[in-house]
Amino acid sequence: MSKLKDTGVLLREDFDAGPTNLDEIEPGLWLGNLTAATDKETLQAHGISHILTVDSCSLPNNITEQPGMVTKFIKVTDTSQEDLLSILDSAVSFIISSLENGVLLVHCYFGVSRSAAVVIAYLMQKYKISFESAFEKAKEKRRFVGPNSGFQSQLKLYHTMGWKIDPTNPQYKLFRLHCAAYHVSKARILPTAFLDLVQPDPALIRAQPEPLVYRCRKCRRIVASASNMLPHIPKESPKWTDPRLTELMQCAGKGGIKTPQPPDTAGDNSVSVPPACQETYFVEPLGWMTEVTHQQQGKLNCPKCVTKLGSFSWIMGCQCPCGAKVSPAFYLVPSKVEWSNFVQNVQVTV
């Protein structure tokens, strides 16, 4: 049973994760629970010199301060909404360096979901295999590994991105927007960790301006580039787990949403993607949208002539006229903007 210390503060040593259990997934790579990570005799018996903690609390000092012990703590909660992808590069790098220099234990609370997900990501990258193959490989050594459903979906995306984080991947963009919306619902502002989601103002001077842009219909100020568009299929709410997003967004980037490209059927195995919806233009949050970082919802006015171009909502999202529910949503009304396939003069934002 957990006991609260006299200080009234709940500490790591107040928890009981059950009997010690750990399994060797690969030579020198152990996966186990919190009890194993805090049992000095167990650590010594298996020659463990490195510990990776993937949990909500770090290990107690009597473990982390042991002579010769190298530890790393990555804070992760075991919920399907948790952003696992953002910590995978760091976690996998630590696993690789630890195995080069000693024996590693990766653990969370029970050694079932969070730590298992990180070990599976390592196996995926090492062997260049799918989530399913890596999951089975880990399960052969530790039968009760079971990352939660959200982690499983993220690991499948990790495979899609080539076993690394690709910030330009359309599915990853939408995934991070969903993560940000979850945190905005709690904090009421956009956390610092997600400020990079606000893309540069497309009207700013840049070395290689994009040729495909959307302008305010009244003053012709550039308000979005084709690469900023987040298109969706009519009547279908976009989901970051949908692999069709990549092809859909590539079509938007090539010719704008108003001129969608037909799917290439020249003997390939790609999934046929319908033309994007043209009822509403959904975009990434952009630099000129000054309120998106500190408001949950609001209007989007042209930064030059102040004409209302659309609205945004982190939490409630927007119901597109086609029937699709998009959330979070940053949208421009098609009648308020016009698409241009060239840049006459590179602008300086007002």
| Per-residue pLDDT reduced to its tens digit, 278-310 | 999 999 999 999 999 999 999 999 999 999 999
| Per-residue pLDDT reduced to its tens digit, 164-215 | 999 889 999 999 999 999 999 999 999 999 999 999 999 986 666 778 899 9
Mean pLDDT of the 6-22 span:
65
Let me know if 108 is a catalytic residue: yes
Q: Are 329 and 317 in contact (CB under 8 A)?
A: yes
How much is the pTM?
0.83
Residues 6+ apart with CB under 8 A from 329: 282, 311, 312, 313, 317, 318
In this predicted structure, which of 121-125, 130-134, 251-255 has the lowest mean pLDDT? 251-255
CB atoms within 10 A of CB 87: 19
Phi first, then psi, for residue 337 (nearest 5°) are: -130, 165
Phi first, then psi, for residue 72 (nearest 5°) are: -140, 135
**Among 70-74, 81-85, 262-266, the range of highest mean pLDDT:** 70-74
Residue 328: asked if its preceding bond is cis (omega within 30°), the reply is yes
Residue extent(s) of CATH 3.90.190.10 domains in the chain = 16-161
Chain-wide mean pLDDT for the chain?
89
Sign of CA dihedral 251, 255, 260, 262: negative
d(CA 246, CA 265): 16
d(CA 180, CA 315): 10
pLDDT at residue 30, as a whole number = 99
Q: Which CATH class is domain 16-161?
A: alpha beta
Please check the confidence at residue 92 and state whether its pLDDT lies above 80: yes
Mean pLDDT of the 50-67 span:
96
**Where does the pLDDT of residue 77 fall: very low under 50, low under 70, confident under 90, or very high at 90 and above?**
very high
pLDDT at residue 50, as a whole number = 99
Q: Which of 57, 108, 251, 318 is catalytic?
A: 108
pLDDT at residue 4, as a whole number = 42
**Where does the pLDDT of residue 2 fall: very low under 50, low under 70, confident under 90, or very high at 90 and above?**
very low
